[in-house]
Structure formats: C-alpha cells, structure tokens
Amino acid sequence: MNQINQTVNIYFDSPKNFEASNILPLNGIAGLYFIFSSSIQIQYPFDKSRLLYIGMSEKRTNSIGNRLNGHFGGKSKNVGLTNYRNVEPLWFTYINFDMLKNIWAYRIEDLESYFILDFVQHFGVYPICNNKTGLDVMNNDIATHFKIDWNYFK
C-alpha cells in the first residue's frame, strides 16, 4: 500500500445533533466518536476547543450507537457530559473504523489512544470529559500517522 509511512489527513463529517434519532442509525458500527459543545469553547492549556470527549466502540456488538446512547441516557455516568448537555445542545461526529482498516493494523483502542494523545499534544491535556490519564504513548514506528483536523472543533 502506498500509505506506508505516510501521513493521512483525518477530516470529520458534518456534525450531528446529539439526539436519539441521530444515534440510532449508528448501531452496529465500531470506531471512534467525538462529542462536542455547540458553542462553549473550553480553554485548554495550549488552545481553545469545543471538544469535550473522545470515545470508542471496540466491537459492533457494543457499537458507537450503544455507547452514545449510554451517554445520552446518562447510563455512562459521565457527569461532565450530562451537565454540558443540560447547559446547551451538544453535537457529535464519528469515524467508522472500517474506513481505516487498510491503513491501521492495530486495535481500535490503540487508535483511540493515538487520537487522545494527539489531542494532548495540540491542546496540552485530555479532552475535558475524558476523565482519564496515563495512556501509553504509541510507538513512533507505526506505519501510518494521522494529521487530525482539530480545527473542526474550534
């Protein structure tokens, strides 16, 4: 494949309102999802962003649809997301893992780590609602690197 050792741009699809009718069609899809506010800019150490949370569904049976639904209904117990949702409407977008299967030979969990650490690199800290620390830094000799369009969340 000609992507070997090359960088792939990741642009995001049009945002969707964080509501049940938009979540339902995502049942059966595995990949990453991004929840962000419609207008509140979070002041991260290096820059501002509306991105609140990067999540991951590792398999089709616990799909992006299921995971988003858990956040939507409050089952995931992510207080930050619940409170942001109470303050203003939230949006989301996602990346279907199938799209990257030809260029990403690792697990979805690793892809999530890659994205979160890339965010940390650009903004200085994990997304505000991710509530986690200590992810492994990915080995730099991986075949594909991504140039993620974080400006999308500005």
Closer of 2 and 39 to other proteins (Cβ): 2
We find the least distance from the C-beta atom of residue 119 to other proteins, in angstroms, to be 17
- The 3-state DSSP composition of the chain as helix, strand, coil percent (nearest 5) reads 30, 25, 40
Nearer to other proteins, 99 or 137 (CB): 99
Stretch that binds other proteins, among 13-21, 37-45, 73-81, 112-120 (CB under 8 A): 13-21
For the CA atoms of the chain, what is the radius of gyration? 15
Subset of residues 63 to 102 that bind other proteins, contact rule: CB under 8 A: 95-96, 98-100, 102
Could you tell me how many residues of this chain bind other proteins (CB under 8 A)? 22
Candidates 7-15, 38-46, 77-85, 124-132; binding stretch for other proteins (CB under 8 A): 7-15
Residue type, 71: H
- For residue 149, the minimal CB distance to other proteins (Å) is 7
DSSP β-ladder status, 6-10 and 144-148: parallel
Contacts 24+ apart (CB under 8 A), 44-48: 44/123, 44/124, 44/125, 44/128, 45/123, 45/124, 45/125, 46/122, 46/123, 46/124, 47/122, 47/123, 47/124, 48/154
Q: Select from 2, 98, 10, 97 the least CA-distant residue to 55.
A: 97
Residue 114 or 126: which CB sits closer to other proteins? 114
Residue 21 binds to other proteins (criterion: CB under 8 A): yes
CB of 99 to other proteins, least distance (A): 5
Instruction: Return residues touching other proteins (CB under 8 A).
Output: 1-3, 6-11, 13-14, 21, 25, 29, 95-96, 98-100, 102-103, 149
